[in-house]
Structure 1
Amino acid sequence: MQGFLDAVAGIARESGFAGIIENPGYLIMIVIACVLLYLAIVKQFEPLLLLPIAFGMLLANLPGSGIIHMEFFLTESGHPDFLNVLNNGGLADMLYLGVKLGIYPPLIFLGIGTMTDFGPLISNPKSLLLGAAAQLGIFMTYFGAKMLGFTAQEAGSIGIIGGADGPTAIYVTSKLAPHLLGAIAVAAYSYMALVPVIQPPIMKALTTKKERQIKMTQLRPVSKTEKVIFPIMCTILISLILPSAAPLVGMLMLGNLMKESGVVERICKTAGNELMNIITIFLGFSVGCTTSADTFFTTQTLFIILLGIIAFGFGTAGGVLLGKLMCWATHGKVNPLIGSAGVSAVPMAARVSQKVGQQEDPSNFLLMHAMGPNVAGVIGSAVAAGILINMLG
């Protein structure tokens, strides 16, 4: 009988329940993971990435699961301990190498490129300025994070949340502050899902009813030649000016060139569907596995959540304010609402501009005009990532 009791006691000591009793933070993180799963499944907030991130978080916070070994990656030298990863790592460790080595985000950008139409941006090049203005949130938040005591690298990683581009946030953070990756990824994708909630109050506060009712003239048609030349020229110019942005911008433009050239339809479909879906699973799951209670449940994480929403707010405001300036300069030909689409949440931010505009005038159609700043925001966030890596890396 004593042997049986000793066996039961041993099992109890080795069970995950004992780990939760020892560190209640695991239980809190499990609850957070379940809430994120609820948002992904029931509310459908960015489910393609939020679901695997949340499930990875769930597994990482089941004591004793050993799903990932972050000590192999967060070494004193700053470089992964590849020998330990290969010899002693498990599934999540192998998948996380794609994040740590900066492989997954550029491949996501390749898929995004195959689904992006740069026609509205080419038709109205001025919208590139709106995409640039919406990156204000990145740099304002960088300075705010510095004031709160974060290092320059950590502040840059937090600031990139304001670009409203999850892969870019992951890419920059993996280069500058990998220990914050889980918190920043969760914040970035959560706020991207909340763009329809966060943006409209800011847009309405910064514009008048008359400005929101402005109808813009139809965009000119864009030729196939223009669409083919654009990604090539964009890659050359941006990569020469800012080489550190080349991996993201280059893969984005490669995907777009595959789409617009029309000569590689088979691999274009693969890049935009099968490949992107596989990488999305790998990226989301491995990032979610980094969010254990030991590293996630800290004061730093709370500051990151707060600074993330400030970054989104400043990004939206920057685009709208430049839209107002362009409205004044063109004597009322530009609706300032399209400036809010300068953040990189494609096409959600453009749809928000359309929705807010139609609330004032149901006959107003701003979607195609807003798509110009929206795709410009994708390029702008990649350029901002290159600037931060170049300055702080």
Structure 2
Amino acid sequence: MLQALIDLWNQSGFASISWGHIVMILVSLILIYLAVAKKYEPLLLLPISFGMLLANLPLAGLMQPPTYEIGKDGLPVLKSVGGLLYYLYQGDFLGIFPPLIFLGVGAMTDFGPLIANPLSILMGAAAQLGVFITFNVASIFLGYTMKEAAAIGIIGGADGPTAIYLTTRLAPHLLGPIAVAAYSYMALVPIIQPPIMRLLTTKEEREIVMEQLRPVSKTEKIIFPIVVTILVSLILPPAAPLIGMLMMGNLFRESGVVERLSKTAQNELNNIIVIFLGTSVGATASAERFLNPKTLGIIALGLVAFAVSTAGGVILGKIMNWISGGKINPLIGSAGVSAVPMAARVSQVEAQKARPGNFVLMHAMGPNVAGVIGTAVAAGVFLSIFGH
């Protein structure tokens, strides 16, 4: 009887658990708390954190690949089928899930504010500053490879699916920490951005009231995704999967003739992919991969990238305000990162703190949706250079 109990203990996860597993389980519980109690990007943070929890349960084997042995005829024979999350992860590794997320994002996005004010795309571009500065710092000064540095830099765009897509192409061994960093900083937009925005602007600038945007016709909204898809895909072919799915989803929305497809892309399909992507990405954050100095460096660099991107958008907003003779509130530049619509809401909150009743939300949505395109373009640049 005693031997049976000893054997049972030795076969349990308790006998194999390490301090690394315990630390990662605690990290996953903290992220679950932030998702549930604080509602920080819960739709993605909750499945990611629970996937992290599952991956760090010893002997569960949920990320275990299948194993084969050579049969008598010399052909491989399946020995073990592998874990559930290993197969879900193939949707990330093969670049399937992130573009499908973009399909849903496109179906939920109104590009009207960007069409009404095309100059706002410049703020979306300026908010990629952190991406390229962090890439150079990581590759030149910190010893990361060019591909690793590109994957780390894209965190500054605050776009989780793009970060996942680029990382699986260039540095799949860093997927766990990069995905966790990208989604964590997306969730913390209301905490990270306001101090930077207030530091770089004066109260007078934050009080600026902007003129109402012009109405955008249905024809413009239908032409826009088609033109963007053609131009971006011809200039940067590697960006076509992300931009193409984003714009196809938007065309579903704006055409008005495929309401069922638009609703499916926004709801059922998007929700299913979010569950699969989030859980499988979280499962890559095992103790062996996560608890090392390089990973901690990624977390720190991701924060720097995001902060610099925010600053880049605000600084360009100030420049455009000066050029326009004081007609542009620089706060909307901070929305040039890709966290839609949270970054635009933060711009609105800060504007109302400076002047109660000031309404800049729709103006901020222009740079915000431009940031989605900008981050996808930045990923396309890196893939064009390093993706071969």
Q: Work out the CA distance in 2 between the residues paired with 1:91 and 1:392.
A: 31
Q: 1:292, CA displacement in angstroms?
A: 0.9
Q: Does 1:210 align with 2:204?
A: yes
TM-score, with length taken from structure 1: 0.94
TM-superposition CA deviations, 1:249-269 (whole Å, max 9, x none): 000000000100000001110
* Post-superposition CA distance 1:266-324 (Å, at most 9, x none): 11100110000000000001111111111111111110110111011000000000001
Q: What are the residue-to-residue correspondences of 1:1-393 with 2, within 5 Å? A: 4-20=1-17, 23-69=18-64, 88-146=81-139, 147-393=141-387
Q: 3-state DSSP class of the match of 2:310?
A: helix
1:195 maps to amino acid: V
Runs of 4+ residues deviating >4 angstroms: 83-87
Cα distance per residue 1:338-365 (max 9 Å; x no partner): 0000000000000000110111101211
CA distance in 1, matches of 2:338, 2:65: 30
Alpha-carbon offset, residue 84 of structure 1: 9.4
C-alpha distance in 2 between matches for 1:167 and 1:222: 29
- d(CA) in 1 for partners of 2:291, 2:79: 29
Q: CA 1:244–1:85 in structure 2 vs 1: closer, same or farther (change >3 Å)? A: farther
Cα offsets for 1:13-72 (capped at 9, x unmatched)? 22111112xx21001111111111111111111111111111111111111000102698
Long gaps (5+) in structure 1: 73-82
SS state at 1:240 partner? helix
Contact 1:354 1:365 in 2 (8 A): yes
1:391 deviates by: 1.1
Q: Tell me, yes or no, if the aligned pair for 1:130 and 1:319 is still in contact at 8 Å.
A: yes
Cα distance, 1:24–1:341 mapped onto 2, change above 3 Å: same
Structure 2: distance between partners of 1:285 and 1:360:
40
Q: 2:66–2:82: 8 Å Cα contact kept in structure 1?
A: no
CA distance in 1, matches of 2:350, 2:290: 36
Q: 2:111 and 2:170 mapped to 1: Cα distance?
A: 30
Contact 1:70 1:290 in 2 (8 A): no
Give distance in 2, aligned partners of 1:215 and 1:140. 32
Q: Distance in 2 between matches of 1:100 and 1:86?
A: 23
Distance between the aligned counterparts of 2:9 and 2:260, measured in 1?
55
Cα separation, 1, equivalents of 2:46 and 2:92: 18
User: Normalization by structure 2: what TM-score?
Assistant: 0.95
Secondary structure, aligned partner of 2:351? helix
